[in-house]
Amino acid sequence: MTISHTGPIDTASDTASDTDAAFTLAYDGVDPRDEGLRETLTSTGNGYMATRGTAEWEEADDVHYPGTYAHGLYNRATTLLGGVPVHNEDLVNLPNWLPLKLRIGGVEVLRLADVEILDYRHRLDLRAAVLTRHLRFRDREGRETELVSRRFTSMASMHHAYLEWTLTPLNWSGPAEVVSAIDGRVTNDGVPRYRDLEGVHLHPVGAEFPESEVMALKTRTRQSEVTVSVAARTRVLAVGRPVEVPRSDFRTPDHVQQTLHLDLERGVPVTVEKSVALFTSRDPATGDTLVRAHRSVARSRSFESALAHHRESWNRLWQACDVQVFGDDEAQHLLRVHISHILQTCSPNTADLDAGVPARGINGEAYRGHVFWDELFVLPFLTYRLPGVTRSLLMYRYRRLAEARAAARAAGRAGFMFPWQSGSLGTEETQEVHLNPMSGKWDVDLSHNQRHVSAAIFYNVWQYITTTEDTMFLESQGAELMLGIARFWSSVAHYSSDRERYEIHGVMGPDEYHEKYPGAAEGGLRNNAYTNVFVAWICDIAAHLLDLLPAPRADAVRARLELRDEEIERWKDISRRMFVPFHDGIISQFEGYDDLEELDWDAYRAKYGDIQRLDRILKAEGDTPDRYKLAKQADAVMLSFLFGDDELRRIFTRLGYEFPDDAARRMIEYYDRRTSHGSTLSYITHAGVLARFDPDSSWERFTVALRSDVGDIQGGTTREGIHMGVMAGTVDLVQRFYAGMRAEGGMLHLEPNLPGAIDGVSFTVIYQRSPLTVTVMRDEVVIRHRDGVIDATPVRVRVAGRERLVAVGGEERFSLA
Ligand code: BGC
């Protein structure tokens, strides 16, 4: 097969309807059971803020949940649970800017439950995250009305969101009212499991009508004292021209609204435009947030002009970020759903914020908007396309070094110990207890022992630097971050003179089902293989890191960390003498894993059907997963996912252990049978590891991950927010595992493993500041060096063992025949 099309499509110029379908997430009809999920999946975000796809007229209830969130904006609250103070920090649900309500004859006519729906279509145009609702309904008086609602959160102008209604009375004429509001009476109430915990985060400050068309509301978060102001300008247009209509204003300190009095004529459409500006006291160039929001919204563009500007920004993003797979339309479509949501959460607008990668995006309240280790799965997508965004997300960690240092010290360690769940301050935000919905009981939560998050941060910085060669970042922040983490691990490891090796005790791996040894009083395990091997790798990189810097910069980093030569010597020693547990010729998940009991998987499947959440099942039975050879998600297997065979062989050889050629295959065979995939991240890891020796079974896992959010396979979790790690992980599988791309030794390597289900893949990456289009088909790989950057340089590539230089503006073809 020869390649005719070697680049992401120009989304702006594609108007064919099949392409529209590939870029649309569509729902027909109303289904109350599905509405929460649709609201999440059709949310509109721009990396600065996001709003759920709730209909404008709905309030929070068991079906709907309007929520608006700003990236990185948290508040802490305390609940007395049985007299015990429980502290939680939440991504704050901000004032709802959506409300538009239709009243006819003094009665609210647009409650879907009260009208007869003649037509209802709900769409998200993925090209630009534009939400459209198209509906026709008949009210109790027999009046038929058509409403087309469109909205977006501007990618081009990050503080702005726009909403437009086009109303047509189909068989009636007469007076009607549209109520436009900003509602500050909101709480965090989106996750039923958290409802016993305090959800009030906002204090009302006041409401104003600074201009006849503009209303504004100011609130302040109760503990973090962030001022948030939302202003809205509502206008009426007839035949495209603004018209004056009578308005009545109403406000309380936490709610503001304007009622527009319209005279509607049968068959004549009228448009209502609501433009919104949101500013917080965390924003630069902002004094009084209300003044800023008011001024900004008063100057905002018309809906159409703002939409064109917004589409143009998205179009450029797709040029950089689209990933094409040929031969599987469903996979293509879902990848685009994922890319759209990743960019709605982390976009160039995020690059100026102090915000991390929230595991569940910014369109729901699951995990309280906290930042876990999931960026490990997200950054590879961003680094290859929007490296400035990755840098900013790494800066979120760097800015929290003081807390990481204090946490290490409080635990009797040195260096930087990052929290398992991070929010505003960078302190540990993991809850102390969590509710098991199966038993209704609050269980102790030991997951904060997942110290591997600090290893992931080290890895992320290193990947960013190898991919971008951003030596400035390495010099000014990266090296300090990495070496402080190495110092932490060195202080956690202790030398066992019996084994003559280093050991790590008291931590948990990514598999959260093993919190401690059966019957043990203390949490944590001995020698979790994922952690130990990772630390051996970290110590090796760290020991040589300063050699990469010019002497004065290396000295500055040393001085800042007060680094001693003995420390570096100890890192070298750890990289050669870390202990790794084995049993039956494979790496044990942790020391003592072999002594655990085998679970009767068939019996549990027969009894419960879905056994992904074996932790809840076993605990509800009065048992504990700690007793069994099982895993929530990939743990030891993650090593193959992160490092690949060559790197693992180097690590193991340095450690004096054997690493047989079939080690990865044997590991995945063993653990695959014992993993419940209770976190969908696990499908990503298993798919990645299987790609090399069983691409088709890898594709099966990939497909599960791909469908997991859109199909809500965990039964209700996606309505509480997307899964960022899985969404980005699927896209990363295409580039790093199916195209087999990795940056190493100053070269871009490609070792394709295309599954039988697809004919090929194509995407654009930025490698060492040069934009490249990579196309991998069954019989050929094409790498095109696209011009467009000032300091582009030729790029060295190695495809299936052959090395070549791709000239600036040039193209290299590699036959795979
Ligand atoms: C997973 C973690 C993950 C977290 C947030 C949990 O279910 O086990 O690995 O970091 O979700 O996505």
Alpha carbon 195 to chain centroid, angstroms = 24
What is the mean pLDDT of the segment spanning 178-196? 95
pLDDT at 623 over 60: yes
CA pair distance 630, 481, nearest whole angstrom: 34
CA pair distance 453, 396, nearest whole angstrom: 14
The best mutation among 91, 632, 679 to test binding of ligand 1, ranked by most ligand atoms within 8 Å of the C-beta, falls on 679
Q: What is the pLDDT of residue 434?
A: 82
Measuring from atom 1 of ligand 1, which residue has the nearest CA? 679
Give the atom of ligand 1 at the shortest distance from the alpha carbon of 633: 8
411 belongs to a structural domain: no
The best mutation among 376, 512, 612, 677 to test binding of ligand 1, ranked by most ligand atoms within 8 Å of the C-beta, falls on 512
What is the mean pLDDT of the segment spanning 229-257? 96
* pLDDT band per the 50, 70, 90 thresholds, residue 437: confident
CA of 748 to the centre of ligand 1 (A): 31
Active site residue 265: no
CA pair distance 136, 148, nearest whole angstrom: 9
CA of 373 to the centre of ligand 1 (A): 8
pLDDT at 370 over 60: yes
Helices (H), 299-448: 303-321, 329-345, 375-383, 387-398, 401-410
What is the mean pLDDT of the segment spanning 406-424? 98
Tokens standing for residue 459: 């890895």
Q: What is the pLDDT of residue 8?
A: 37
CA of 511 to the centre of ligand 1 (A): 9
Q: DSSP E strands: which ranges in 500-638?
A: 501-503, 505-507, 525-526, 582-583, 586-587
Give the atom of ligand 1 at the shortest distance from the alpha carbon of 372: 10
495 belongs to a structural domain: no
Give the atom of ligand 1 at the shortest distance from the alpha carbon of 367: 5
Contact 346, 357 (CB under 8 A): yes
CA of 679 to the centre of ligand 1 (A): 6
Residue 700 C-beta-side C-alpha neighbours within 13 Å: 4
pLDDT in tens, 90-146: 999 999 999 999 999 888 877 887 899 999 999 999 999 999 999 999 999 999 999
Contact 345, 361 (CB under 8 A): yes
Measuring from atom 11 of ligand 1, which residue has the nearest CA? 679
Q: What percent of the chain has pLDDT over 70?
A: 97
CA of 433 to the centre of ligand 1 (A): 16
What is the mean pLDDT of the segment spanning 457-463? 98
**What CATH number does residue 278 fall under?**
2.70.98.40
Measuring from atom 5 of ligand 1, which residue has the nearest CA? 359
The best mutation among 429, 637, 681, 709 to test binding of ligand 1, ranked by most ligand atoms within 8 Å of the C-beta, falls on 681
Q: What is the pLDDT of residue 1?
A: 33
Measuring from atom 9 of ligand 1, which residue has the nearest CA? 510
Of 39, 177, 480, 512, the active-site residue reads 512
Q: Which residues line ligand 1 (CB under 6 A)?
A: 359, 367, 372-374, 510, 512, 632-633, 679, 681, 725
Angle (CA) 725-777-799 rounded to 5° is 85
* pLDDT band per the 50, 70, 90 thresholds, residue 19: low
| Residue positions counted in the chain | 817
pLDDT in tens, 377-398: 999 999 999 999 999 999 999 9
Residue 75's domain comprises 39-318
669 three-state secondary structure: helix
What is the mean pLDDT of the segment spanning 237-256? 95
CA of 632 to the centre of ligand 1 (A): 10
pLDDT at 16 over 70: no
pLDDT in tens, 780-811: 999 999 876 777 889 999 998 999 999 999 99
H or E element that contains 485: helix 479-492
What is the mean pLDDT of the segment spanning 22-37? 94
271 belongs to a structural domain: yes
What is the mean pLDDT of the segment spanning 630-640? 96
Q: What is the pLDDT of residue 193?
A: 87
CB neighbours of residue 553 within 10 Å: 17
pLDDT in tens, 662-678: 999 999 999 999 999 99
What is the mean pLDDT of the segment spanning 616-623? 92
- Ranking 298-302, 345-349, 443-447, 700-704 by mean pLDDT, the lowest is 443-447
Tokens standing for residue 508: 């948990």
Residue 396 C-beta-side C-alpha neighbours within 13 Å: 32
H or E element that contains 572: helix 565-577
pLDDT in tens, 484-533: 999 999 999 999 999 999 999 999 999 999 999 999 988 899 999 999 99
The CA-atom distances, in angstroms, between 771 and each of 4, 705, 737 are: 20, 28, 20
As annotated, the binding site for substrate includes 373-374, 632-633
Q: Which residue reads 């064109």 in tokens? A: 308
Contact 135, 30 (CB under 8 A): no
**DSSP codes joined into one string, 190-234:** --GGGTTS----EEEEEEEEEETTEEEEEEEETTT--EEEEEEEE
The best mutation among 365, 374, 375 to test binding of ligand 1, ranked by most ligand atoms within 8 Å of the C-beta, falls on 374
Measuring from atom 8 of ligand 1, which residue has the nearest CA? 679
Q: What is the pLDDT of residue 53?
A: 98
97 belongs to a structural domain: yes
pTM of whole model > 0.85? Answer: yes
Give the atom of ligand 1 at the shortest distance from the alpha carbon of 632: 8
809 DSSP 8-state letter: T
447 belongs to a structural domain: no
Helices (H), 134-180: none
CA of 721 to the centre of ligand 1 (A): 13
The CA-atom distances, in angstroms, between 524 and each of 88, 419, 449 are: 23, 15, 6
What is the mean pLDDT of the segment spanning 559-570? 97
Q: What is the pLDDT of residue 17?
A: 45
CA pair distance 54, 787, nearest whole angstrom: 42
526 belongs to a structural domain: no
Q: Which residue, among 775, 746, 743, 741, has the nearest Cα to 760 in the 3D structure?
A: 775
CA pair distance 482, 462, nearest whole angstrom: 8
Give the atom of ligand 1 at the shortest distance from the alpha carbon of 724: 12
Angle (CA) 661-667-671 rounded to 5° is 170
Per the prediction, the chain carries an average pLDDT of 94
List of residues 6+ apart from 780 with CB closer than 8 A = 1, 2, 3, 813, 814, 815, 816
Q: How many domains does the chain have?
A: 1
Q: Estimate the crossing angle of helix 479-492 against helix 565-577, to 10 degrees.
A: 60
365 belongs to a structural domain: no
CA of 368 to the centre of ligand 1 (A): 12
Q: Is 712 left (phi over 0), alpha (psi -120 to 50) or beta?
A: left
Measuring from atom 7 of ligand 1, which residue has the nearest CA? 679
Q: Which residue, among 83, 145, 154, has the nearest Cα to 108 in the 3D structure?
A: 145
666 belongs to a structural domain: no
301 DSSP 8-state letter: P
